[in-house]
Amino acid sequence: MKIMKAVVLSVIMFCAAPLVWAGQVSINSADATALAAELKGVGEKKAQAIVDYRKQNGEFSSIEDLQKVKGISAKTVEMNIKNLSL
């Protein structure tokens, strides 16, 4: 019985880990692939918009400036704030 509990717990932890442990990502240096992979609510299209905005306007001076990118809302920033860096 102990082995069964250990196996079930291991499977749960393995499946839940990606949901809990999102990586830190720099909005000033990450490429579109990294942004899409690490940020909730940001797919390839929005990630590319972040990179394009940065190329046209220079580095972001604050995390909140990410909202200047078309398609990135305050809610998206709020959901990801702990994983964002400059």
The tens digit of pLDDT for each residue in 10-67 reads: 555 555 444 445 579 999 999 999 999 999 999 999 999 999 999 999 999 999 999 9
In a domain? residue 8: no
pTM over 0.85, yes/no? no
In a domain? residue 81: yes
In a domain? residue 65: yes
Domain containing 44: what range?
Answer: 23-85
In a domain? residue 16: no
What is the CATH classification number for the domain harbouring 51? 1.10.150.280
Query: Quick check: helix, strand or coil at residue 26?
Result: strand
Query: Quick check: helix, strand or coil at residue 7?
Result: helix
In a domain? residue 9: no
Q: Which amino acid is at 43?
A: G
In a domain? residue 29: yes
In a domain? residue 56: yes
> How far apart, in whole angstroms, are the C-alpha atoms of residue 81 and residue 83?
5
DSSP string, 33-59: HHHHHHSTT--HHHHHHHHHHHHHH-S
Tokens representing 69 are 């990118």
Number of domains in the chain: 1
Instruction: State residue 62's pLDDT score.
Output: 97
